[in-house]
Structure 1
């Protein structure tokens, strides 16, 4: 596509193209520590760690790996929530030329075993509470892992929290005794005894992998996405160019998105470190803790998922907290309802924009302008050096403007391919274009709209129904806090639309009212026929609602 109508909507400050260095991704940390050694890099439950100290610990971690015989190009798994240890293990591995495999701490042994074996991981860094699960998943030694590096939440807590934590853990039944040995090692002791000598492996940014990031595994086992140093450097800088009012060494990032999710890794971890910003580490999203953190620690940037913003705007005591420090939020991982955007911006006075990405693109490809023209319901326009088209999936031919097809993207952030899966790589990467699997359209201004995943499309009585369109209507109802729709089996129509609804506090279930609301705003065939009221919806740690889990629950019910 030679025509790029979106370029005329670029702010004057944003260049359409840029020269991206192909250095080691960890150079961002080295540079920020050199320029701002005393600047606070991490805030964690009262502890504060400067850039100088952080880099020192990362060098020590890198040298410890080398001493253990872990070499360049070998895989190191990091199975931690957002905490200082996760940042140290991530950048320390990159500094010595290793490949990071970020792993969800909630994974069960079967899921964990697949990732560790598939990536041929030699060493894993994890919490004491998760060691038994790791050992369950795969043996230590032999054909399994060579080493388990064990850390505890208390290791980076300030006094007296570090003393009180084990007492509380014992009281809560969470205390774990670790049998250390030749292959099960203390991360804290390893770092303390390692060399602080600078260690920065030379890499071929275009070829050498920084990361194997596993996708959600919506069909069978998850696939490992191969992201190079150049991919992640480029995407960090692309998002930086978009956030052109960002101030070096002044921004504070609320890190509620987990770093083991590629969205949190790029727009929080890599981006904040590049900017010498402060990361306020939140081990998990708990709305009360988030509101207190915003009120007391005054973050300026808060990337998240729509469910996070939904939880905040619907909190009964939200007006007791000062949220005015928030300047910029980018929402990803799921569609952002207009109602949520409007209410959140009114509460904070900041900007909340919708963007779009996928693991295979490091992940960000599109975003709405933060301070210039934006369109509600749109994922925005392609970032610098990113091309996008709406195509017929089988032929890669462009559809006519305004018509629906599959979104295809191309740019420096697009993956090298899938780890050990050449057939899947071939199906997904066509002539340099990444087929996203998302159905969408582009308007005359070059703004893109995602309707839904191809696999989430509901076909009822021959009609195509896009869940997002129905969900937007449900969100507008004054009693609805959260909603998601899915296609469920129907003997006559093939599929029918079912709505799963979480009500706002104090509201009573009223199926007739919701159905009438939808009838007034949607064609009859799009109106949900079934309504299920729930206390909550199943979500990932990144805040993405698991539509697949709801469909699986439905399929397990006996058909009448």
Structure 2
């Protein structure tokens, strides 16, 4: 198999009547999906070698369009569903002047939390490597129904389409996590095993508002995967208690690196920040500056139209990330924040994620974000934005005492503010850039 569409064609023969895509309103079998993709691809013959920019959606039509672009020999460039017309036109113009490598399947735009959004080129080879990594590491199977709740123009959810197709399993598409009833209705779909990918913020929402209901699916939930942002250990432990027989994965991945490593934290240890060992088609090392370097077939081909930026991070098949980490004696990778998120206060460097993890251990805090603030006397200080659980109010002195018991003095914030919500990027990560 050279492309994911080769698996799609195979499935139309082997599993013709198997549901391929399910939504709350519709079901499409593999035979029907392949027929629609093939017909759509024939209308795109003139687009061969060109970048096709289009809006993402949680629909079967999105996937038909996506697969058809590949089948026609073009490059898929899915964007957020609400991207302005001006931005869509701008990207179409930019990409029309780019020489894209022949094997490129997608250009995926990062959410730009640390800078301007960049177009990451992903090859067909990388798609298949990511797919096989997930099939083998997470044990995808043919009888699985996988629920996708997040945007499919980002690697976190788009990458789950691949192993489902590789195994001939079933995708259940949802419009986000705002309607918890819709999520549980998806889990009610008649099948032996269900699984899903949820960002930590969605997991926190389920645990806060419907923990008892989630527990009723303990026998059916084969696994839950999380990633994109750090998950608090308190949430990890609660999820393990509710779903004692489910595999609960914390995965290390990014648009640039692809799917690299994963850790089943339902192992009685529940190591916070651990993302496990490398998957079959990936490798990682940590350099003397604690920067994580990745190798393998899952890596991006580069940034579209930006050779200088590509060369700054990708050299001789190795990608230098902005993530900091360490490797334990068992070869497991532990994340320690990002080098570009580090806050310099009084000449001392603080990883904001360390402060946030310590604060979340308090229990009555739903979410928090540590950011830099300007003080008229001492300069840059730490400020903690806090979202409290229902029925609780922020008590700054109590939180300060809690943090002093867990952190060095210079890591304890000087300023605290209770907020209704933490701003997030489209794919659920804390939008740190917007607070700078």
Smaller-chain TM-score bracket? over 0.9
**C-alpha distance in 2 between matches for 1:491 and 1:110:** 40
Equivalence for 1:188: none
Q: Which residues in structure 2 correspond to 1:31-110 (within 5 Å)?
A: 31-66=10-45, 69-70=46-47, 72-110=48-86
Q: Does the aligned pair in 1 maintain the 2:78–2:108 contact within 8 Å?
A: yes
**Corresponding residue to 2:203 among 281, 305, 309:** 309
User: In structure 2, how many angstroms separate the alpha carbons of the residues matched to 1:485 and 1:111?
Assistant: 31
Correspondence for 1:351 among 247, 268, 271: 247
2:394 to 487, 509, 534: 509
Q: What is the aligned length?
A: 428
Cα offset for 1:492? 5.0
Question: Contact between 2:234 and 2:363, CA under 8 Å: does it hold in 1?
Answer: no
Contact 2:51/2:92, CA 8 A, preserved across alignment = no
Counterpart Cα distance in 2 of 1:219 and 1:302? 28
Tell me, in whole angstroms, the C-alpha distance in 2 between the residues paired with 1:287 and 1:513: 34
Return the alpha-carbon distance in structure 2 between the equivalents of residues 295 and 355 of structure 1: 22
Alignment check: 8 A CA contact 2:8 2:34 kept: yes
Q: Gaps spanning 5+ residues in structure 1: where? A: 1-20, 122-205, 392-398, 552-560
Distance in 2 (CA, whole Å) between partners of 1:320 and 1:305 is 19
Whole-Å separation in 1 of the counterparts to 2:283 and 2:212: 42
Q: What is the TM-score of this pair, normalised by structure 2?
A: 0.92
The within-5 A match list for 1:158-557 is 207-218=102-113, 220-244=115-139, 246-248=140-142, 250-266=143-159, 268-297=160-189, 300-315=194-209, 317-320=210-213, 322-324=216-218, 325-349=220-244, 350-361=246-257, 363-369=258-264, 375-391=271-287, 399=288, 405-491=290-376, 493-551=378-436
Higher strand share: 2
Q: Over alpha carbons, which structure has the higher Rg?
A: 1
Question: Tell me, what secondary structure is at the counterpart of 2:43?
Answer: helix
Structure 2 residue ranges without an equivalent (≥5): none
How far, CA to CA, are the matches of 1:493 and 1:443 in structure 2?
38
Over the residues paired in the alignment, what is the CA RMSD in angstroms?
2.2
Rounded Cα–Cα distance in structure 2 between residues aligned with 1:58 and 1:385: 28
Q: CA deviation at 1:207?
A: 4.5
3-state SS, counterpart of residue 33 of structure 1: helix
Answer whether contact 1:451 1:467 (CA < 8 A) is retained: no
Would you say the 8 A contact 1:341–1:353 is kept in 2? no
Residue 507 of structure 1: how far off its partner (Å): 0.9
Q: TM-score of the superposition, structure 1-length normalised?
A: 0.72
Segments of 4+ moved more than 6 angstroms? 370-374
Q: Are 2:276 and 2:333, in contact at CA under 8 Å, matched by a contact in 1?
A: yes
Q: CA deviation at 1:30?
A: 1.2
CA distance in structure 2 between the partners assigned to 1:114 and 1:530 by the alignment: 41
Q: 1:531 to 1:287 in 2, by over 3 A?
A: farther
User: Secondary structure in 1 aligned to 2:16?
Assistant: coil
Judged with a 3 Å threshold, the aligned counterparts in structure 2 of structure 1 residues 471 and 220 are, in CA distance, closer, same or farther, namely: closer
